[in-house]
Amino acid sequence: MFLLLAACVVREDHGLRRLLTWTPIARIGALSYGIYLFQQPCLGAARAVAGKIGLGHPVVGLVLGAFGVWIAAEVSFRFYESRFLRLKKRFGA
């Protein structure tokens, strides 16, 4: 696993390039910080809401939670993280 990761970092023409540059996978990469931050609150809220409306099955909570996480990560990226990414262009790195 380490060698595969090292090969992806060292060379841009590695075997996983097509997969990692595929638009849906690249978007998940852009939203990954927001997904990390919001996964627990959104999944917990979705399970609670699903239970209150009588749809307490774990799959329903997971689907609602995944949708909530995606929306929260998109909003966070668009209105918060993108501002800091623009600063990165201004200051060099």
pTM for the whole structure: 0.76
**Would you state the structure tokens that stand for residue 77, as one six-digit string?**
């990226």
pLDDT at residue 77 in the model: 95
Please state the domain extents for the chain.
Answer: 39-85
Residue segments in the chain with a per-residue pLDDT below the cut of 70: 93
Please state, in angstroms and rounded to a whole number, the distance separating the CA atoms of residues 55 and 67: 16
pLDDT at residue 40 in the model: 96
pLDDT at residue 10 in the model: 85
Return the number of other C-beta atoms located less than 10 Å from residue 59's C-beta: 9
pLDDT at residue 78 in the model: 95
22: DSSP letter: S
Quickly tell me which residue has 């909570």 as its tokens. 61
Share of the chain above pLDDT 90, in %: 51
